Structure 1
Amino acid sequence: MPPAERREKITAEIVARTGITEPLIERLVRGFYAKVRSDAVLGRVFEARIHDWEPHLQRMFAFWSSVALMSGRYHGTPMAKHMPLPVDADHFDRWLALFGETAREVCSPEAATHFIELARRIAASLELGIAGAQGVLLGNGERFRRNEAGEMPG
């Protein structure tokens, strides 16, 4: 089976199982980032870097379409974009809490479960990558923590 045909089949299976659609992805992403922007932990991290939100949201629609539906719409490097951010385990925990809350509000239980599992994997991968870039090798179950000034404990 050609790759494009295989991708279409996988996407159709995901849609049938979860009910995820592109409009649902947009509602989820818009709802999530509305919460992020007003959040005490995450808001300032995003506001310091994103001045025009609509292009960012459009990229996130494509990203989540690619991740959740295997659509292939996103072409970027999430790890590289996140490496310079002053974030650690607390930020990822808050990101996951807000994302999960939003997914449960706007999605069916099946879709929410699908999105939340993907988000957990993404957060773990990004946290591991950011830690590694800071010279910290995390062991199984270990989390990446910065000190009060946002620097690595040392």
Structure 2
Amino acid sequence: MTVLSLSSDLPDELSEDVVRRLVQVFYVRARADAVLGPIFEKHVGHRWEAHLSALVDFWSSVALMSGRYSGKPHLAHVPLGLAPEHFERWLRLFEETVPEVCQGPAAAFLVDRAHRIADSLQIGLGIGSKALRLPAKTVADAS
């Protein structure tokens, strides 16, 4: 039985430099965005450089499996009051930015991961079309 390294399945074009450039270019745009910018400013504007560094580590872990990120992104997004529209905007900006940083399989890989992240966060936050909707408990259910 042959066991392949997960990293061997990654596009050759992906590198720490690509991840760093993507995060820097994308989050300049996200901060300047009329919808997303105020959220970033309110919650991380006072510590932007540290947040950007954490985002580079996060995307390095997602894209290159570096394991550098050890935070809890779901918990970090809970107090932000996000709605599905915020994720749609984030994804649109991301999809517009990726081709400026990389092309081909690497670009497709990063966009796919962004969609998975958006889905996962929305599920975790209980918003959007993929959120788990459990029936409300009633008094009769408790007996």
Question: What TM-score comes out, normalization by structure 2 length?
Answer: 0.82
Aligned to 2:76: 81
Q: 2:51 aligned with 1:56, yes or no?
A: yes
Gaps in structure 2 of 5+ consecutive residues:
135-143
Q: 2:17 aligned with 1:23, yes or no?
A: yes
* 1:10 corresponds to which of 3, 6, 10: 6
Sequence identity (%): 46
Root-mean-square deviation (CA, aligned residues, Å) is 2.0
Which AA in structure 2 matches 1:34?
A: V
Q: Deviations over 1:43-89 (max 9, x none)?
A: 00100011121111111111001111111111110100011111111
Greater Cα radius of gyration, structure 1 or 2: 2
| Runs ≥4 residues deviating over 6 A | none
Q: Distance in 1 between matches of 2:7 and 2:13?
A: 11
Q: Distance in 1 between matches of 2:120 and 2:92?
A: 17
Q: 2:26 aligned with 1:32, yes or no?
A: yes
Q: 2:37 aligned with 1:43, yes or no?
A: yes
Structure with the largest fraction of helix: 2
Gaps in structure 1 of 5+ consecutive residues:
1-5, 140-154
Q: Distance in 1 between matches of 2:121 and 2:133?
A: 12
Which AA in structure 1 matches 2:37?
A: G
Q: Aligned pair count?
A: 128
Q: Deviations over 1:28-51 (max 9, x none)?
A: 000000001110110001000111
Q: Distance in 1 between matches of 2:59 and 2:132?
A: 28
Contact 1:32/1:98 (<8 A) preserved: yes
Which AA in structure 1 matches 2:114?
A: A
Question: What TM-score comes out, normalization by structure 1 length?
Answer: 0.77
